[in-house]
Chains A and B, each alone.
Chain A
Amino acid sequence: DAKTTQPNSMESNEEEPVHLPCNHSTISGTDYIHWYRQLPSQGPEYVIHGLTSNVNNRMASLAIAEDRKSSTLILHRATLRDAAVYYCILRGSGGSNYKLTFGKGTLLTVNP
């Protein structure tokens, strides 16, 4: 079973910020939060990841709640190329944590 919960779909307008939420209430102290996105008929690509502190890179920002039970991927200015399925996953280490499971993700639609 996926360890994260995301809305099935979200919609945004071009050049507006987008906040994609992810709930992971059963996260353990050593689990990293990863975000990937997938364009149609392509393999997912890495977006961002973090452990406890908020993270920024050229693609996006990751805001992690203080209790780590939720996180938000922030696209500061959505473009048409950002339209994709976004997956939030937890990645831990050891034993069953090596089993990487993805949920259905959030389908982001960007309107021109």
Chain B
Amino acid sequence: DGGITQSPKYLFRKEGQNVTLSCEQNLNHDAMYWYRQDPGQGLRLIYYSQIVNDFQKGDIAEGYSVSREKKESFPLTVTSAQKNPTAFYLCASSNRDPGYTIYFGEGSWLTVV
């Protein structure tokens, strides 16, 4: 079945470590997005990409990095520079047509221990 797969579902990180969250889609979508969600809060945009080998910073990009080497993949690295990384991370994808539906993954929980 087509969809977006995020992994891992749960991840624990020690302070000072970098971690990478995976996001894969087989929907042939050009656009992909990463959001962060803190408890009781809305979605905040970290990075987005409209095409392979190109991406832009969102509203809270500091301490994060991404790559878009393949159309179906958009991994997010949470670096040690991110001061408060504990959160729920969501990946989304869509076509660039604004009348098209946005599809979300099931999310990844990251906890710093």
Please give the residue numbers on chain A whose beta carbons come within 8 Å of chain B beta carbons, in ascending order: 2, 30-32, 34, 36, 41-46, 49, 51, 85, 87, 91-93, 97-105
Contacts and interface: CB of A to CB of B under 8 A. Distances in A.
Contacts of B98: 30-32, 91-93, 97
Nearest to A98: B50
B64 interface: no
A42 B42 contact: no
A102 B42 contact: yes
The residue among A36, A46, A102 with the most chain B CB atoms within 10 A of its own CB is A102
Interface of B: 31, 33, 35, 41-45, 48, 50, 56, 58-59, 88, 90, 92, 96-99, 101-107, 109
A42 B109 CA distance: 11
A41 to B, nearest CB: 7
A43 B45 contact: no
Contact of B45 (A31, A42, A91, A99): A99
Majority DSSP secondary structure for residues of A touching B:
loop
B104 A44 contact: yes
Given A100-B48, A102-B42, A102-B43, A32 B99 contact: yes
The residue among B44, B105, B107 with the most chain A CB atoms within 10 A of its own CB is B107
Nearest to A103: B42
B48 to A, nearest CB: 6
Contact of B104 (A32, A41, A45): A45
A100 B33 contact: yes
A26 to B, nearest CB: 15
A55 B37 CA distance: 29
B41 A43 contact: no
Given A99-B58, A101-B59, A43 B107 contact: yes
Given A46-B101, A100-B92, 12 more contacts: A2-B42, A43-B92, A43-B105, A43-B107, A49-B99, A97-B98, A98-B50, A98-B56, A99-B48, A99-B56, A102-B42, A104-B42
Nearest to A93: B98
